[in-house]
Amino acid sequence: MEKHRALREVINRLARIEGHVRSIKEMVAEGRDCPDLLIQIAAVRAALDQVGRIILEDHMESCIIRAVKGGSGHEAIADLKDALAKFIR
């Protein structure tokens, strides 16, 4: 797999999300209030959506352009549509 422009940024964001999820798990174990948990879960979901946006932008700026130039643009677009349908559910 080739390196993408946003690879380091995605890895860093995912590491922060991982730590945030661990802290939510600790909050559950401590018996924290449900509204506090829901707020933290919403923050993680928003962070994951941002990672998805970064990956999508990077994919369009590199993989899709390369596929179009290489003659396989229709297949790349179909694959992207399928992935987006699963991501956006």
Residue 59, domain CATH: 1.20.58.1000
Mean residue pLDDT of the chain comes to 93
Instruction: With respect to residue 64, please indicate whether it lies within any of the assigned structural domains.
Output: yes
Domain that holds residue 61: 7-88
Q: Which residues contact 70 (CB under 8 A, 6 or more apart)?
A: none
Q: Which pLDDT value is given to residue 4?
A: 77
Instruction: With respect to residue 59, please indicate whether it lies within any of the assigned structural domains.
Output: yes
Q: What is the pLDDT of residues 44-79, one digit of tens each?
A: 999 999 999 999 999 998 989 999 999 999 999 999
Q: How many domains does the chain have?
A: 1
Instruction: With respect to residue 1, please indicate whether it lies within any of the assigned structural domains.
Output: no
Q: Which residues contact 52 (CB under 8 A, 6 or more apart)?
A: 87
Longest CA pairwise span in the chain (Å): 56
